[in-house]
């Protein structure tokens, strides 16, 4: 069945129950008011820091937007883009698009105006809804968007070149449109993270979305009593696919706008959160805040918090060891996925396998996995090869890019571009991105292995290892290190710390700087390669 039927069922079964809460901590701090001062269910005045929505209102808002789109000529197969920050309107808009049979196109809120234009043109989008944060960017390009014939604006102070989403949907029917959908109908286009170039448009059908709901529930056992804290951006597959488990269970979720450690802990405490999905930097920030004393766990009610899980990047075992020290009763899971495989879940550790922390895990529910050499043949246990996955959540294709599709989809297997190896128990360990492997003097160096080693250092908050050109060796490894606040570290100390490593793996260049990450937590290594040319740091290189 299409995923829209789950929403309709929840509205019928649990209509008056709150399903979504939006909390904007910047507003709460600026107004200096208590969290639970307001009881808001359907609507709230603009600028409130806490807003709630029931399942009935969620479904009705989705229906109203679907009927507005139909009035404007949107038909099955058309593309409608969403350019919004996380907010209470986001998911009803997404489901409203799906209910018309159109294809939802979530957009990265960090895109520049030119990137927005590129992605809208690539996806052949005909309609777009955007929020206040994007007015300047949209104003600079809207006249150049030949294919976009409909522009809706969600928020106050509507620009003249767009129509009001709020005013127009208020006059539309709250009944579901009469559109027949199947799991094979196209549903959504997500964009690749673009860390290796321009984003690709990744097309999925309703079967992919349904596969994500079942996989998430199987892995994390969501029930009606759970409450999921959603912090990452909804435009990405990660956060939304984890929320799909809440959708399937008919349970509540909280959209938190803000990532400060005290905000996350306060949300868990006040909202009685049971499940939190974090990115590695946020987990590190919470632990650092605890250890330097800026937050006191005794100030929060966290007894109901049952599960913390992490995805989007390799997780250092040292991080989870620290986490379990302060949260010994938490279940923990690692999730591996990619947008081409409908986000997290094709490989996962499993809460019962915490003794294997460091691995990304075993094949997820309904997924198959193998590790292959350059010829597509499975490698022996322990050897490094490319991770290849197969399952019901695979993309249809890269939209309008058959050459790129053929390069990664082969006989229903997706070649992920991630290098991995499998241990004697069948657990898979990421080694690195295929494109990030450093070849130095004929030796393959896998940056993730060096990064994991360095992150165990007490003074290091984050680290990225990249390859830089070298006339003699071809490439050398450079470690970009971000030091914890209040800590101090020297280049000599790092070199001494790396002495136990094999000689060829030791970083030849050490740089102290902040580590740039995109909104989904991935290190932006192309930015680092661009920032640090060999000429600018050659004096730092040693022959160790």
What pLDDT, on the 0 to 100 scale, is given for residue 312? 65
CA pair distance 368, 40, nearest whole angstrom = 45
Q: What is the pLDDT, as a whole number, of residue 523?
A: 80
The token duo for 47 is 């600028």
Burial of 258 (0-12, 13-18, 19+ CB in 10 A): middle
Query: pLDDT band at 178, cuts 50/70/90?
Result: very high
- Name the DSSP class of 42: S
- The strand ranges marked E within 219-300 are 227-230, 252-257, 275-278
**What was the pLDDT predicted at 27?**
59
Cα–chain center distance at 246: 17
144-180: b (≥16 Cβ within 10 Å) or e:
ebeebebbbbbbeebbeebeebeeebeebeeebeebe
Can you tell me whether residue 155 is helix, strand or coil?
A: coil
Largest CA distance in the chain: 72
pLDDT at 397 over 50: yes
Compute the average pLDDT of residues 422-430. Answer: 93
Please say if the pLDDT value at position 353 is more than 60. Answer: yes
Task: Report the chain's mean pLDDT, rounded to a whole number.
Answer: 88
Mean pLDDT on 164-182 = 95
Which of 64, 58, 59, 65 has its CA nearest to residue 41?
A: 58
Q: How confident is the model at residue 326 (pLDDT cuts 50, 70, 90)?
A: very high
Of 376, 313, 367, the closest CA to residue 342 belongs to 367
Looking at the DSSP bridge assignments, the partners of residue 525 are: none
Binned at pLDDT 50, 70 and 90, residue 78 comes out as: very high
Confidence of residue 449 (pLDDT cuts 50, 70, 90): confident
End-to-end CA distance of the chain: 60
Lowest mean pLDDT among 92-106, 243-257, 287-301, 304-318: 304-318
> Which one of 3.40.50.2300, 3.40.50.170, 3.30.300.30, 3.20.20.80 gives the CATH number of domain 443-540?
3.30.300.30
Averaged pLDDT, 75-96 = 96
pLDDT of residue 526: 76
C-alpha 446/C-alpha 505 separation (Å) is 8
Contact between 351 and 308 (Cβ < 8 Å): no
Q: Which ranges constitute the DSSP H helices of 196-292?
A: 206-220, 237-249, 261-270, 280-292
Beta bridge partners of 357: 359
Q: Which single residue is written with the structure tokens 């199947």?
A: 182
Where is average pLDDT lowest: 51-55, 86-90, 226-230, 284-288?
284-288
What lies within 8 Å, CB to CB, of 109 at 6+ separation is 83, 84, 85, 133, 134, 233, 235, 519
CA dihedral 395, 343, 216, 84 (to 10 degrees): -110
Q: Is beta strand 186-191 parallel, antiparallel or unpaired with respect to 201-205?
A: antiparallel
Give the model's pLDDT for residue 441. 63
Give residue 536's pLDDT: 43
Six-digit token pair at 57?
A: 């209102």
Return the CATH superfamily for domain 307-433: Luciferase; Domain 3 (2.30.38.10)
Runs of H (alpha helix) within 390-524: 402-408, 447-455, 491-497
Rounded to an integer, what distance in angstroms lies between the CA atom of residue 314 and that of residue 311?
A: 7
User: Token match 């080693």: residue?
Assistant: 453
* Helical axes 447-455 vs 317-326, angle rounded to 10°: 30
pLDDT at 446 over 90: no
pLDDT in tens, 248-301: 999 999 999 888 999 999 999 999 999 999 987 789 889 999 999 999 999 999
Type and span of the H or E element at 283: helix 280-292
**Tens digits of residue pLDDT in 210-234:** 999 999 999 999 999 999 999 988 9
Q: How far is CA 172 from CA 32, 127, 167, 176, 374, in A?
A: 37, 18, 9, 11, 55
DSSP state of 334: E
Q: How confident is the model at residue 182 (pLDDT cuts 50, 70, 90)?
A: very high
Tokens found for residue 489: 């570290």
pLDDT-derived band at 199 (thresholds 50, 70, 90) equals: confident
- In this predicted structure, the answer to whether residue 37 has a pLDDT above a threshold of 90 is no
What tokens does 276 get?
């939190």
The whole-number pLDDT of residue 193 equals: 67
* Residue indicated by tokens 């969600």: 154
In this structure, are residues 454 and 481 in contact, taking their beta carbons and an 8 Å threshold?
yes
The helix (H) or strand (E) run that includes residue 29 is: helix 25-31
Q: Please tell me the distance from the alpha carbon of residue 86 to that of residue 367, in angstroms, as a whole number.
A: 30
C-beta neighbour count of 428 within 10 angstroms: 23
H helix intervals, 32-157: 55-71, 90-99, 113-123, 135-141
CATH class of 4-258: alpha beta
- 3-state secondary structure (DSSP) of residue 189: strand
480 vs 46, residue with greater confidence: 480
Pairing relation of β-strands 127-130 and 79-83?
parallel
Domain residue ranges of the chain, discontinuous segments joined by +: 4-258, 307-433, 443-540
Residue 342: closest CA among 394, 405, 416, 389: 394
3-state SS, residue 135: helix
CA-based nearest residue to 464, from 419, 519, 416, 529: 529
Q: What are 109-151's pLDDT values in tens digits?
A: 888 898 899 999 999 999 999 999 999 999 999 999 989 999 9
């Amino acid at each position: 069945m299409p995923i829209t039927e789950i929403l309709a069922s929840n509205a019928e079964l649990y209509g008056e129950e709150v399903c979504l809460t939006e909390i904007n901590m910047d507003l709460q701090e600026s107004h200096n008011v208590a969290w639970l001062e307001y009881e808001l269910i359907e609507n709230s005045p603009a600028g409130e820091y806490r807003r709630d929505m029931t399942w009935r209102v969620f479904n009705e808002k989705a229906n109203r937007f679907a009927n507005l789109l139909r009035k404007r000529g949107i038909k099955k197969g058309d593309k409608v883009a969403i350019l919004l920050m996380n907010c209470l309107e986001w998911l009803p808009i997404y489901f409203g698009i799906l209910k018309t049979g159109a294809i939802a196109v979530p957009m990265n809120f960090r895109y520049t105006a030119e990137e927005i234009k590129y992605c809208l043109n690539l996806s052949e989008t005909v309609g777009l809804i955007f929020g206040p944060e994007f007015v300047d960017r949209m104003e600079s390009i809207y006249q150049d968007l030949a294919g976009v014939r409909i522009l809706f604006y969600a928020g106050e102070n509507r620009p003249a070149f767009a129509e009001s989403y709020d005013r127009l949907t208020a006059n539309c029917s709250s009944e579901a449109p009469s559109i027949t959908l199947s799991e094979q109908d196209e549903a959504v286009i997500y964009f690749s993270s673009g860390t290796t170039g321009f984003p690709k448009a990744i097309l999925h059908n309703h079967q992919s979305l349904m596969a994500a709901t079942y996989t998430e529930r199987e892995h994390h056992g969501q029930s009606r009593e759970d409450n999921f804290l959603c912090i990452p951006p909804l435009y990405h597959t990660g956060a939304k696919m984890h929320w799909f488990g809440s959708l399937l269970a008919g349970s509540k979720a909280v959209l938190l706008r803000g990532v400060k450690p005290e905000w996350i802990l306060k949300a868990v405490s006040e909202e009685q959160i049971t499940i939190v999905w974090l990115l590695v930097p946020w987990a590190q920030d919470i632990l650092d805040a605890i250890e330097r004393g800026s937050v006191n766990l005794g100030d929060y009610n966290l007894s109901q918090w049952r599960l913390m899980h992490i995805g989007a990047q390799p997780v250092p075992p040292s991080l989870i060891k620290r986490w379990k020290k302060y949260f010994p009763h938490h279940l923990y899971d690692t999730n591996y996925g990619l947008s081409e495989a409908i986000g997290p879940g094709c490989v996962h550790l499993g809460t019962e396998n915490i003794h294997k922390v460091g691995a990304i895990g075993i094949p997820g529910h309904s997924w198959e996995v193998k590790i292959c050499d350059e010829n597509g043949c499975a490698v022996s246990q322990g050897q490094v090869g490319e991770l290849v996955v197969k399952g019901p959540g695979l993309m249809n294709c890269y939209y309008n890019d058959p050459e790129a599709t053929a390069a990664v989809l082969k006989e229903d297997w997706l070649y992920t571009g991630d290098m991995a190896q499998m241990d004697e128990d069948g657990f898979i360990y990421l080694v690195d991105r295929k494109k990030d492997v450093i070849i130095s003097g004929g030796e393959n160096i896998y940056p993730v292995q060096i990064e994991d080693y360095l992150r165990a250092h007490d003074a290091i908050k984050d680290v990225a290892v990249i390859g830089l050109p070298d006339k003699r060796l071809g490439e050398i490894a450079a470690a970009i290190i971000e030091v914890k606040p209040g800590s101090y570290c020297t280049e000599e100390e790092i070199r001494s710390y790396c002495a136990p490593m094999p000689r060829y793996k030791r970083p030849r260049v050490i740089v102290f700087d902040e580590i740039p990450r995109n909104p989904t937590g991935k290190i932006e290594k192309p930015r680092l390669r661009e920032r640090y040319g060999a000429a600018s740091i050659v004096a730092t290189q040693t022959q160790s």
